[in-house]
Chain A
Amino acid sequence: MAELNTIIHQPVRLKIMSALKALPPGDMLEFVRLKKIVEATEGNLGAHIQTLEEAGYVTVEKDFADNRPRTRVRLSREGRRAFEDYVAFLRGILEG
């Protein structure tokens, strides 16, 4: 049986991954919008995004929009696959 992915299973990271997975592949979510969806503080969200980035599950892009700095997060191909495996793992537990 597959093992639980503890990187994704952490509650805030699970929300981040779920929010990003809901977008069309390749699309990005702005940090401020993600913060509202996940209901996390800025520091907390930043730390968890860093963990996911180090695992190769998300990529972070920083640029300027309307002369203001903007940070956007995108689910990587690897992250999408890991998340799908994680969901399959949970379903497997429910189905016994």
Chain B
Amino acid sequence: MTLSPDQAAQSLQEIEKTARRSAQAHEYAHSSPQFILWGLIWMVGYTGSYLLPNYGFIHGINWLWFALVVAGVVGSSILGRRRYRDLAPDAIAKAKAIGFRWGMTCLVFYVFLIATFAVMRPTSPAASGAFVPLIIAAIYAVMGIWRGLRFLYAGIAVGALTLGGWFWLPEYFLLWMAAVGGGSLILVGLWLRKV
């Protein structure tokens, strides 16, 4: 059996198209539990901040959120490790290196937030509670531009819901973020799992 250059080009295009779809679906499937985990953390954190606004602050640091972020990072790394389970040894080494870079990225992000709060001095817990999701929304949107439109939609949803709560429901903003912000992350996680 022989192939013409046109047929060969067509097959290569098919390979590229299917590989792109597969890689994207794979990325979505592994991101799904991470979205659900962080949605739950947002729910607990924002509900705690609303119900007990002065609880957990020691020397100006909000230990409730600090503990939740640490729990989230540990949970994320456990979920990430599940990703290694079936991989070949060389792919495990590569995945671990990527996981390490993600961990470092989270650390840089956390230090950036603390530094930003130290310089900008948010006027209320709600202001810092709005700033973080807006940054996260921007990160998702940028990821969406490069890695798959569903992340872009997630970024737009989180950003719009944060701004909506901030401007229209200022007195219930923290509760809004617990229910709608955390809830939307969980829904996005479930949506990605369906791909």
Contacts and interface: CB of A to CB of B under 8 A. Distances in A.
Q: Which secondary structure characterizes the binding site on chain A?
A: helix
Contacts, number: 83
B60 interface: no
A42 interface: no
B22 A37 contact: yes
Q: Which bucket holds chain B's interface residue count? A: 20 to 34
Nearest to A96: B5
A11 interface: yes
Contact of A94 (B8, B26, B91): B8
Instruction: Give the interface centre of B23, B25, B95 by most chain A CB atoms within 10 Å.
Output: B25
Contact of B8 (A11, A74, A90): A90
Q: Which secondary structure characterizes the binding site on chain B?
A: helix
Contacts of A93: 3-5, 8
B1 A6 contact: yes
Interface string A58-96: 000000000000000010000000000001001101101
16 contacts: A9-B11, A11-B14, A14-B11, A14-B14, A18-B14, A18-B15, A18-B16, A19-B21, A23-B26, A25-B91, A28-B86, A29-B26, A37-B22, A90-B8, A91-B12, A94-B12
